[in-house]
């Protein structure tokens, strides 16, 4: 890169001649540095090092040396600013690709979404990328080709993921029969509290007391231990249960318990897998499958949820008690006239007295029936994606002719590669299948191995770009699809690409409008906000449990994320001004978030668009997600938030600090906050 010649001659050249070349010129080169021949062009690493070295020495104040002629402050400032701008421009230019798109692989979320749409899989509790190394980012972006490197370890993970994905898509072979499991007693939960319920109700019902966000659980998860192995097949299952809300209108101080007696007690159903850990404790993947507001008397409820094979439903108290383990003794001390006099100290007796003699708000589940699996269609979408309408015939006969394999393989590969495939490409996969057949694999097993090879192909793992400058219709379909959906083009986009119509501006505009209205837009919103506002860091430094109990009690971490995502999606779909990001008179809140903000609560349990009074919470800068992600869980710093604002909102990141400058601790003596 070439610095502007007149500017160089006017600014840096005379400065070097006056103050530097006496020691770093033609006659002598102290420190092996020579600056008299330095040109305006940064044309290699040596010149770059010289520019950076001059800037560093000026910032440190080491040069010119004390016994040499010194520049004025104005001269020093002018040169350091010129060097800083020149080096920043150079680095930005080096990052550019000259208008060409760098070949890049799918990042983890794009891989996950593509597998979902290619095979029609339900990904509620299935993540084939869980063992992938974390994608590297560039300026918070996780879809930059230069940072998405491919390692030997990642290739091994791709092989394993392909095996998991194809195995899930190819099972079960035949439609399973409906089955019902009924549970009417024996509701054991966790060892610490089982001794109480053995005495009080002989496990005749399940009791839920605290929320899953509690530090120490006392029945936060209600598993069915007799169903610990979970359901036998992927599918939808009906959960039919008799439950009640008990002691919603309790006699205790609501502030003391931390619950709102005016709200119905809310039952949640989450998935659990005993292979992932104990069913009465949190697990890495435990999606919320359903929520129910319970009546104050016993009543039957039915919900249909998706469960993967091996997963079992677990019941939770969504708005239960926060720290019930410590609450037992506090409750008995505060309301000692309502409890027997303790005979011995300790949690065991306090727990028994509080549960048996107290009136703590709780959920009781008396009966549970689970029936399924149910399917939206049979053969399932994942079956049709690999064998079309031949699924049942092939399962019955167990054979696949080479012609059938070629037909189904061509259709599958065209969708996987997001373009028409050549005969040579199909032949390569057929050779893999033939080899596997020769090793004794059945037709279906060998065909499955061929499908795995497709999912490990560069044509699937990488977004192909044409050699010519003009994008093909298929490349355009992939670009717009991975931009707005973080996934492969759907049937409509591929059909328009096949007809060479997608490059028509009117048709492309129509497709973009259609895609913006699709639920898959959530992938763009999530990825964009995770990168732009660094929301992926939300929760990495959570606040103190004792000081900010509401954060855990009401799962404010999830609520904060959802507010910002709903807000952004609304702006996109309504095509509102970008100014709303900073100044809006509305937001989206649920009841806990509204309470945190001190604004009117929505009527229902979910999120609603709500007016923001006086505009104080209007826009991103007033939203809890942004305020939390720019803090460290303990306190806030105006410097840290200021840097975040410069980088992410104004797009003018501050220059890096001069080298060897120690950070200063702020003097906050006599101040209430760091501000």
Q: What is the pLDDT of residue 96?
A: 57
Q: Which of 311-320, 380-389, 438-447, 641-650 has the lowest mean pLDDT?
A: 641-650
Q: What is the pLDDT of residue 447?
A: 96
Q: Cα–Cα distances in Å, from 356 out to 187, 203, 219, 222, 351?
A: 17, 14, 15, 19, 8
| pLDDT greater than 80 at residue 370 | yes
DSSP 2: B
* The two structure tokens encoding residue 332: 């008995």
| pLDDT greater than 90 at residue 577 | yes
Residue 339 near residue 323, CB atoms below 8 Å: no
| pLDDT greater than 80 at residue 1 | no
- 260: how many CB neighbours lie within 10 A of its CB? 14
DSSP 316: E
Work out whether the CA dihedral 621, 627, 630, 631 comes out positive or negative: positive
- How large a percentage of the chain has pLDDT more than 70? 93
- Residue 296: which residues within 8 A CB-CB, separation 6 or more? 244, 245, 246, 248, 249
Q: Which residue has the higher pLDDT, 375 or 23?
A: 375
DSSP 619: S
| pLDDT greater than 90 at residue 376 | yes
* The two structure tokens encoding residue 29: 């080169």
Residue 446 near residue 437, CB atoms below 8 Å: yes
3-state SS class at 364: strand
- 524: how many CB neighbours lie within 10 A of its CB? 20
Q: What is the pLDDT of residue 24?
A: 84
Q: What is the pLDDT of residue 35?
A: 81
Average pLDDT rounded to a whole number, residues 105-129: 96
3-state SS class at 240: strand
| pLDDT greater than 80 at residue 310 | yes
Residues 317, 121: Cα–Cα separation, whole Å: 30
The 10s digit of each residue's pLDDT in 149-199 is: 889 999 999 999 999 999 999 999 999 999 999 999 999 888 888 888 998
Residue 634's pLDDT band (cuts 50, 70, 90) = confident
Q: What is the pLDDT of residue 460?
A: 97
Where is 595: in which H helix or E strand? Answer: helix 591-597
Tokens 């692989």 identify what position? 105
Residues 97, 564: Cα–Cα separation, whole Å: 33
Per DSSP, what are the bridge partners of residue 239?
Answer: 303, 370
Q: What is the pLDDT of residue 85?
A: 84
When the pLDDT of each residue in the chain is averaged and rounded to a whole number, the result is 88
Residue 139's pLDDT band (cuts 50, 70, 90) = confident
Q: Which of 51-55, 311-315, 367-371 has the lowest mean pLDDT?
A: 51-55
> 589-622 as b/e, with b when 16 or more CB fall inside 10 Å?
bbbbbbebbebeebeeeebbebebeeeebbbbeb
3-state SS class at 158: helix
The 10s digit of each residue's pLDDT in 209-261 is: 998 887 778 888 999 999 999 999 999 999 999 999 999 999 999 989 888 88
Per DSSP, what are the bridge partners of residue 357?
Answer: none
> 225-244 as b/e, with b when 16 or more CB fall inside 10 Å?
eeeeebbebbbebbbebbbb
Tokens 């560093």 identify what position? 56
User: Sheet containing 288-293: which strands, arranged edge to edge?
Assistant: 221-223, 312-317, 266-272, 288-293
- Residue 101: which residues within 8 A CB-CB, separation 6 or more? 145, 465
Indicate left, alpha or beta for 633 from its phi (over 0: left) and psi (-120 to 50: alpha). left
Residue 364 near residue 244, CB atoms below 8 Å: yes
Pairing of strands 462-463, 104-105: antiparallel
DSSP 600: P
Average pLDDT rounded to a whole number, residues 537-549: 79
Q: What is the pLDDT of residue 216?
A: 78
| pLDDT greater than 90 at residue 133 | yes
Residues 112, 329: Cα–Cα separation, whole Å: 48
> 340-355 as b/e, with b when 16 or more CB fall inside 10 Å?
eeeeeeeeebbbbbbb
Structural domains of the chain, ranges and CATH numbers in brackets: 5-95 (no CATH), 104-172+380-465 (no CATH), 179-374 (2.60.120), 533-648 (no CATH)
* pTM to 2 decimal places: 0.83
The 10s digit of each residue's pLDDT in 323-363 is: 888 889 999 999 989 999 888 888 888 899 999 999 999 99
What is 555-591 written as a DSSP string?
THHHHHHHHHHHHHHHHHHTT--GGGGTS-SEEEE-H
* The two structure tokens encoding residue 92: 């930005």
Work out whether the CA dihedral 418, 424, 427, 429 comes out positive or negative: negative
Work out whether the CA dihedral 210, 216, 219, 225 comes out positive or negative: positive
Q: Cα–Cα distances in Å, from 430 out to 438, 450, 495?
A: 12, 7, 26
Per DSSP, what are the bridge partners of residue 299?
Answer: 243
The 10s digit of each residue's pLDDT in 456-509 is: 999 999 998 766 667 899 999 999 999 999 999 999 999 999 999 999 999 999
Average pLDDT rounded to a whole number, residues 656-674: 61
Residues 623, 571: Cα–Cα separation, whole Å: 15
- Using a 10 angstrom Cβ sphere, with 0-12 exposed, 13-18 middle and 19 or more buried, the burial of residue 389 is exposed
Residues 195, 218: Cα–Cα separation, whole Å: 12
Average pLDDT rounded to a whole number, residues 519-538: 93
């Amino acid at each position: 890169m070439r610095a502007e010649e007149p500017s160089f001659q006017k600014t840096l050249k005379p400065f070097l001649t006056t103050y530097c070349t006496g020691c770093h010129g033609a006659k002598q080169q102290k420190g092996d540095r020579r600056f008299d021949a330095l040109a305006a062009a940064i044309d290699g690493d040596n010149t770059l090092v010289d520019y950076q070295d001059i800037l560093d020495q000026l910032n440190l104040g080491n040069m010119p040396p004390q016994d040499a002629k010194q520049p004025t402050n104005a001269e020093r400032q002018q040169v350091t600013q010129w060097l800083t701008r020149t080096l920043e421009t150079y680095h930005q230019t080096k990052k550019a690709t000259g208008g060409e798109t760098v070949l890049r692989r799918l990042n983890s979320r794009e891989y996950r979404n593509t597998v979902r749409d290619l095979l029609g899989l339900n990904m509620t509790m299935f993540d084939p990328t869980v063992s992938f190394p974390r994608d590297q980012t560039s300026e918070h972006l996780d879809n930059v080709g230069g940072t998405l490197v491919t390692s030997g370890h990642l290739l091994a993970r791709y092989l394993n993921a392909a095996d998991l994905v194809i195995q899930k898509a190819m099972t079960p072979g035949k439609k399973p029969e409906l089955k019902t499991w009924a549970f009417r007693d024996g509701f054991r939960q966790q060892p610490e509290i089982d001794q109480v319920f053995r005495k009080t109700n002989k496990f005749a019902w399940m009791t839920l007391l605290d929320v899953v966000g509690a530090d120490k659980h006392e029945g936060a998860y209600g598993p069915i231990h007799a169903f610990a192995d979970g359901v036998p097949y992927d599918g939808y299952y009906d959960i039919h249960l008799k439950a009640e809300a008990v002691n919603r209108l309790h006699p205790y101080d609501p502030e003391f318990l931390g619950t709102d007696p005016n709200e119905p007690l809310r039952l949640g159903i989450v998935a659990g897998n005993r292979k992932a850990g104990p069913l009465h404790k949190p697990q890495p993947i435990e999606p919320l499958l359903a929520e129910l507001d319970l009546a104050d008397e016993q009543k039957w409820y039915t919900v249909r949820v998706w469960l993967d094979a091996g997963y079992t439903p677990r019941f939770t108290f969504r708005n239960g008690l926060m720290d019930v383990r410590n609450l037992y003794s506090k409750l008995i001390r505060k309301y000692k006239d309502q409890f027997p006099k303790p005979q011995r100290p300790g949690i065991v007796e306090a727990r028994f007295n509080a549960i048996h003699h107290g009136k703590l708000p709780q959920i009781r589940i008396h009966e549970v029936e689970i029936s399924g699996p149910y399917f939206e269609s049979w053969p399932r979408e994942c079956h049709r994606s690999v064998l079309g309408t031949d699924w049942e015939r092939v399962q019955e006969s167990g054979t696949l002719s080479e012609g059938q394999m070629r037909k189904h393989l061509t259709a599958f590969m065209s969708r996987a590669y997001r373009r028409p495939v050549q005969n040579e490409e199909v032949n390569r996969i057929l050779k893999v299948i033939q080899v596997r057949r020769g090793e004794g694999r059945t037709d279906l097993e060998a065909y499955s191995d061929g499908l795995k090879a497709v999912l490990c192909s560069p044509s699937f793992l990488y977004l192909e770009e044409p050699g010519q400058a003009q994008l093909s219709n298929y490349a355009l379909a992939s670009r717009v699809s991975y931009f707005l959906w973080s996934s492969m083009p759907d049937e409509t986009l591929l059909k328009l690409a096949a007809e060479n119509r997608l490059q028509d501006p009117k048709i492309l505009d129509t497709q973009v409008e259609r895609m913006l209205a699709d639920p898959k837009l959530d992938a763009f919103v999530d990825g964009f906000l995770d990168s732009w506002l660094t929301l992926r860091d939300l929760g990495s430094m959570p606040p103190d449990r004792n000081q900010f109990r509401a954060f855990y009690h009401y799962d404010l971490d999830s609520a904060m994320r959802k507010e910002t995502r709903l807000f952004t999606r609304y702006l996109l779909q309504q095509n509102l001004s970008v100014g709303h990001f900073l100044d809006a008179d509305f937001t989206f809140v649920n009841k806990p978030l509204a309470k945190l903000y001190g604004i009117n609560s929505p009527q229902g349990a979910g999120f609603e668009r709500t007016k923001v009074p006086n505009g104080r919470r209007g826009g991103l800068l007033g939203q809890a997600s942004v305020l939390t992600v720019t803090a460290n869980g303990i306190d806030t710093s105006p410097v840290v938030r200021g840097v975040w604002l410069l980088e992410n909102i104004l797009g003018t990141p501050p220059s890096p600090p001069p080298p060897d400058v120690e950070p200063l601790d702020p003097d906050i003596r006599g101040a209430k906050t760091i501000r």
